[in-house]
Amino acid sequence: MRIKITADSTCDLRPETIAEHDIELFSLTIKMGDKLYRDGVDITAADTFRYVDAGGELCSTIALNVQEYQERFEVLAKEYDAVIHINISSDFSSCYQNACIAAAELDNVYVVDSRNLSSGHGHVVMEAVTKAEEGKTPEEILAWLDDVIPRVNASFILDRLDYMRKGGRCSTVQALGANLLKLKPCIEVTGGKMHVSKKYRGNLEKVMMEYTRDRLKNPDELVLDRVYITSPEASAELIEKIRELIAQLAPFTTIQHTVAGCTVGCHCGPNTIGVLYIMKHAKEEQ
C-alpha cells in the first residue's frame, strides 16, 4: 500500500528528515504584530524572539482551519491508498478537531492526536513513518501509535519566565521569585497537557546537565532508537555538551538536535531546551 504520513508543522523534525521520508507538513499560522506568517516557511522562532526583544508583543499561533485541511486531504486521498495525519495535542490547539472534521467524509484519511508537541509530536510522526516503510497496514500503524503515544517522554527546561508571564501562564510575582532564586522549571507533557515537574537552580548549563541526568537515570526503561535534543535557540556548545552527556548515560542509536518552531518559541522563549525520547512503558498521568 502507498501510505502518506502528514503532520502539523509543530512536530519540529529536521528538514532533511522530512525530505528523506517524504513527510508533508501543514504549517500553522503565526501572528506577529498585524502580519501573518507560515510556521517554518517564512518565519522561525528566532524571528519572533528578535521582534519581542525589539519591544513587540508576544506572537501567537493560529490553528489550521477545516478548509485548509480538507483541500489538501482531498488531493492526497486520491494519490495514496491511505493518509495518516498526526496533529499537535488537542489540549494545545484546535488543529486535531479541525482535521477530524475535514477527514470525516474521506474513508482513507486517518487523523491521530499525538497528545504532544514539538519533537514529542515528532517521535509519533517518526513511529508512523517507520511502520509505513515496513509495509504495515493503516490499521496496524494506528494500533501501534495508540501504544506508543503514552510512552513518549517530552519535557523542557525554561531558561526565562518572561514569555510565560507575558502569556499569562505565570504571575509577575512567581516570575520575579524564580528569577531571584535562579530557578529554572522543567515543563513536562503528560496526558497531552503541560505541568511543572521539577524546579532546578543555577545557570542554564548546570541545570541542563542535572536535568539530563535525571531524565536518563534509568536507561533500561528507555527505547533506545532515537533521542531528540530540542531548542528554538541555544548555543552549539551547550547542545554538544548535552549530546556528549546523553551518549555517556544511554546508548541511543541516534542522538539528534532539532530546532523547535514558533509554537514552542512563542510560548516558552529562547534557550528553552528539552531532551525527548520514548519509554518502554507509559508514564503515569498527573
For 66-124, how does the pLDDT look when each residue is reduced to its tens digit (9 = 90+)? 999 999 999 999 999 999 999 999 999 999 999 999 999 999 999 999 999 999 999 99
**In the structure, what pLDDT confidence band is assigned to residue 285 with cuts at 50, 70 and 90?**
low
Mean per-residue pLDDT for 168-172? 42
| Per-residue pLDDT at 165 | 52
| Per-residue pLDDT at 223 | 98
Dihedral pair phi/psi, residue 98, rounded to 5°: -65, -40
Give yes or no for residue 29 having a pLDDT over 50. Answer: yes
Give yes or no for residue 238 having a pLDDT over 90. Answer: yes
Which of 5-9, 37-41, 52-56, 268-272 holds the top average pLDDT? 5-9
**In the structure, what pLDDT confidence band is assigned to residue 176 with cuts at 50, 70 and 90?**
very low
Cα separations in angstroms, 188 against 82, 97, 196: 33, 23, 6
pTM: 0.93
Which amino acid appears at position 236 of this protein?
A: A
Closest CA to 63 of 36, 27, 34: 27
* HEC-encoded secondary structure of 124-136: HHHHHHHHHHCCC
- 143-162 b/e with 16+ CB inside 10 Å = b? ebbeebbbbbbbbbbbbbbe
E runs forming strands in 9-149: 24-26, 29-32, 35-38, 60-62, 82-87, 109-113
Q: pLDDT, tens digit, for every residue of 211-225? A: 999 999 999 999 999
Closest CA to 189 of 156, 142, 144, 146: 156
Question: Could you tell me the three cell numbers for 111?
Answer: 487523523
| Per-residue pLDDT at 270 | 87
For the chain, which domains are there?
3-150 (3.40.50.10170), 151-279 (3.30.1180.10)
| Per-residue pLDDT at 58 | 86
Average pLDDT over the chain, rounded to whole? 91
Contacts of 180 (CB under 8 A, 6+ apart): none
Tell me the torsion sign for CA atoms 206, 212, 215, 221.
Answer: negative
Roughly how many angstroms between the first and final C-alpha of the chain, as a whole number? 39
**In the structure, what pLDDT confidence band is assigned to residue 34 with cuts at 50, 70 and 90?**
very high
Give yes or no for residue 46 having a pLDDT over 60. Answer: yes
**In the structure, what pLDDT confidence band is assigned to residue 240 with cuts at 50, 70 and 90?**
very high
| Per-residue pLDDT at 177 | 43
Say which residue the cell 489550521 belongs to: 64
The pLDDT > 70 percentage for the chain reads 92
Give yes or no for residue 3 having a pLDDT over 90. Answer: yes
Of 58 and 272, the structure prediction assigns the larger pLDDT to 272
Q: pLDDT, tens digit, for every residue of 194-216? A: 888 889 999 999 999 999 999 99
Give yes or no for residue 141 having a pLDDT over 70. Answer: yes
